[in-house]
Amino acid sequence: MFKKNFIILICLIFLGFNVPKVKAAEECFEGVSRGIFKFNMAFDDIILEPLAKGYNKLPTPIQQGTGNFTSNISTLLSIPNSILQGNFKDAGHATGSFLVNTTLGILGFLNPAERIGLKPVKEDVGQTLGAYGFGPGCYFVLPILGPSTARDTIGLIADTFVDPFAHITIREQELFGLSGNSLDYYSVKGTGAVDFRSNNINNFDSLEKNSIDLYSSFKSIYLQDRENKINNSKNSQDDWGNLDN
Partner 1 sequence: MKKLIVFLVSSIIILNASFLYGYSSNPEEFVKELVGEAINKLSDKNLTKEEKKIFVEKVALENVDIKALSLYTLGELRKSAEKDKLIKYQSTFEKYFLKSLTSRLADYSSSKFEVTSSEKKSASYTIVNSKVSPSDGSPEIKIDWRIYTKNPDKPLIRDLIVEGLSLARTQKEEFASILSSNNNDIIVLIQKLEEFVNN
Positions that interact with partner 1 (CB under 8 A): 25, 60, 199, 202, 206, 209-213, 215-217, 219-221, 224-225, 228, 233-240, 242-245
Residue (2 or 239) nearer to partner 1, CB: 239
Residue (181 or 206) nearer to partner 1, CB: 206
CA angle, residues 207, 212, 218, in degrees to nearest 5: 50
Comparing CA positions, the residue from 188, 222, 229, 226 lying closest to residue 67 is 188
Question: Which residues are registered as beta bridge partners of 142?
Answer: 146
Comparing CA positions, the residue from 110, 138, 164 lying closest to residue 32 is 138
Three-state DSSP class for residue 16? helix
Least distance (Å) from partner 1 to the CB of residue 205? 9
Least distance (Å) from partner 1 to the CB of residue 212? 5
Residue (45 or 208) nearer to partner 1, CB: 208
Three-state DSSP class for residue 134? coil
Least distance (Å) from partner 1 to the CB of residue 174? 36
Handedness of CA 38, 149, 122, 157 (dihedral sign): positive
Residue (187 or 228) nearer to partner 1, CB: 228
Residue (5 or 242) nearer to partner 1, CB: 242
Comparing CA positions, the residue from 152, 77, 153 lying closest to residue 120 is 77
Handedness of CA 25, 26, 30, 33 (dihedral sign): negative
